[in-house]
Structures are given as structure tokens and as C-alpha cells.
């Protein structure tokens, strides 16, 4: 399928926006460019939106709690990890995504501001996300949610972190996750895949150069083969994980590694709803206000979370 017309129009508009120069910009400079979310309309109304502090051992994380209208007394909870290559991204850049997931799923959402690289390299982000999920389940009464109904979700690097948390939760024996929603997740460091060759030049937003920059900032001196909670496709055993929704995008450099992870999950006996969104690019999921066809994919992920919580 050719590019979705709304995506094509968005790419033309984005040509005028400032871009990260991966050869010259530092992480703080990249954040100054990227972490100013564009407003495409009024935010989806929630019954409650609250900024929280999560106290973990030796650190405190910012978080944002979303309760949708009509959620009931003790809804399930989706813990959300934002994308941005483990380097950029904030609670604000993914505010719209969290509101949409909350509204469509009928469940609460807790968005986590995990520590970013390169100031905090692997496995800091994975540790933060796992421990924040443990905290959420343990503090269900404080949050007003059902601690037995917890899912994880994320896009891009956040999808990578959601996958890592699912693995960590399985290995730790808790919390028992109901579902994992992986939206065009990073799963591997193979830049020679066909989807990188076809889509990695930068014309579809995400580039191969950019992904190499993100990986180098996250891993630092840690070899990829010693970073199993980052290169999740290399995990020897994926059995026993929570059911999954895995969404990739046709014009995304990450498409093939996401598809490969879905295949690995299915082969390991994990229940997986997996599909590639035709005509879409990396990042489309949160752009539903300007890419109307993105709504069906938000609905798909949210419906599977709702089903897992039923």
C-alpha cells in the first residue's frame, strides 16, 4: 500500500519543523528540539489527571495518572512507557497517547518518566519501568485500581521497555501482568534488515542514523550481546509471558524486528495479536488527531487490554 494520505500530508508539514542533527547534536540539544509536543487539538477529557511521584530505592520518578470517564470504582491499569530512543520523550510528548488508551480501554493509565540515556545508561530505564510497575501493583489501593489487572504498554523504545518489563515480571514471578501492548517496538540492533534498507533514509521520520545514535546512547560500552533486556529479540526463552498485542508500521525501519519478535512470541506459545499497519510510519499511533486511520489501531490495542482485564 502507498503512504496513507494523511501521513503524506503530515510528512510535508514536518519538513518545516526543526530536526535533530545526529552527527552534531547532544542529547540535551535533541531534547530541546523534540520534547516540545505539537498540539493538534483539544486533549481528550479525563475524569482525573494527576501528576505523581514514585519513590524507588535511591531515586524518585515522575509519573502521570489518567482515569477515564466511566471507569468504575476499581479499573484495571495500563503502565505506559514513552518512546524516544531511551534518550528523548517526556510525559507531555505522550500525553495524547495515554489519554486515548485510557478512553478506549476504559482502564486507568500510569505514564512513567523513566531515567534517560546517556546520563543513565542501560539497564537504568528497564529497571525504572519494572520497579514502577511493581510499585503500581503494590499501591493499587492508593491509585484506586485493581492490582490484579495490570498491563504494560509502550511505543518504540517504550515498546522495548514494555517487552523487557514483561520478561522481568515473568522471571521475578510478579507482578502477574494481564497483557503487553507493544507499538512498533525496538527489539534488535540489526540495521541490515530489509525494513531498514527500504525505510531508513529518513524520509519516513525515523532513520537508521537516528537509531544508531539512540542505541549508542543507551548501551554505551555495554556490548549488545550482553544487553538481553534491550535486545529482547535475543532472549533465549520467551515462553510464559503475558499475552501481547504487537503493532508494526509498513514504512517503519523497525517493522521487521517487530514482526520477528511477534513470530518469536507466537513460537513460544504466547497469545499474540500481531499486525502491520499499512501505509503508516513510525510514530503514527499517537497522531490520531491528524491521521484519522490511526484510531483503528488505538482501538485494537485498547480493546485487547479491555479483553485481558475482563
Give the residue numbers marked as catalytic.
Answer: 156, 252, 282
8 A C-beta contact, residue 182 and residue 159? yes
Cα 114 to chain centroid distance, Å, stands at 12
- All three cell numbers of 36: 516540545
Cα 284 to chain centroid distance, Å, stands at 12
Question: What CA–CA distance (Å, rounded) separates 204 from 280?
Answer: 9
Residues 6+ apart with CB under 8 A from 152: 78, 79, 80, 81, 129, 133, 162, 165, 166, 177, 179, 180, 181, 242
Cα within 13 Å of Cα(225), Cβ side: 0
The alpha carbon torsion through 247, 162, 298, 91 (nearest 10 deg) reads -130
| First-to-last C-alpha distance (Å) of the chain | 35
- Cell 531508513 sits on residue: 200
Q: For residue 279, which of 304, 297, 301, 258 has the smallest C-alpha distance? A: 297
Amino acid at each position: 500500500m502507498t503512504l496513507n494520505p494523511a501521513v503524506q500530508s503530515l510528512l510535508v508539514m514536518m519538513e518545516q519543523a526543526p530536526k535533530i542533527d545526529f552527527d552534531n547534536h547532544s542529547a540535551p540539544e535533541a531534547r530541546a528540539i523534540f520534547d516540545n509536543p505539537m498540539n493538534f487539538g483539544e486533549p481528550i477529557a479525563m475524569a482525573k489527571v494527576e501528576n505523581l511521584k514514585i519513590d524507588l530505592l535511591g531515586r524518585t520518578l515522575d509519573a502521570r495518572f489518567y482515569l477515564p470517564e466511566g471507569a468504575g470504582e476499581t479499573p484495571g491499569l495500563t503502565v505506559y512507557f514513552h518512546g524516544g530512543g531511551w534518550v528523548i520523550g517526556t510525559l507531555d510528548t505522550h500525553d495524547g497517547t495515554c489519554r486515548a488508551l485510557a478512553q478506549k480501554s476504559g482502564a486507568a493509565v500510569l505514564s512513567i518518566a523513566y531515567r534517560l540515556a546517556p546520563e543513565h545508561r542501560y539497564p537504568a530505564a528497564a529497571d525504572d519501568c519494572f520497579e514502577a510497575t511493581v510499585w503500581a501493583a503494590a499501591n493499587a489501593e492508593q491509585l484506586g485500581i485493581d492490582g490484579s489487572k495490570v498491563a504494560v504498554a509502550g511505543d518504540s523504545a517504550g515498546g522495548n521497555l514494555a517487552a523487557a518489563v514483561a520478561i522481568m515480571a515473568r522471571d521475578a514471578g510478579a507482578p502477574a501482568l494481564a497483557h503487553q501492548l507493544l507499538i512498533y517496538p525496538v527489539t534488535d540492533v540489526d540495521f541490515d534488515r530489509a525494513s531498514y534498507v527500504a525505510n531508513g533514509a529518513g524520509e519516513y521520520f525515523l532513520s537508521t542514523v537516528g537509531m544508531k545514535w539512540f542505541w549508542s546512547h543507551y548501551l554505551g560500552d555495554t556490548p549488545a550481546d550482553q544487553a538481553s533486556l534491550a535486545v529482547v529479540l535475543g532472549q533465549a526463552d520467551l515462553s510464559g509471558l503475558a499475552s501481547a498485542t504487537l503493532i508494526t508500521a509498513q514504512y517503519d525501519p523497525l517493522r521487521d524486528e517487530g514482526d520477528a519478535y511477534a513470530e518469536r512470541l507466537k513460537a513460544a506459545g504466547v497469545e499474540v495479536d500481531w499486525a502491520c499497519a499499512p501505509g503508516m510510519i513510525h510514530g503514527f499511533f499517537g497522531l490520531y488527531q491528524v491521521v484519522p486511520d490511526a484510531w483503528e489501531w488505538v482501538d485494537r490495542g485498547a480493546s485487547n487490554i479491555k479483553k485481558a482485564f475482563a
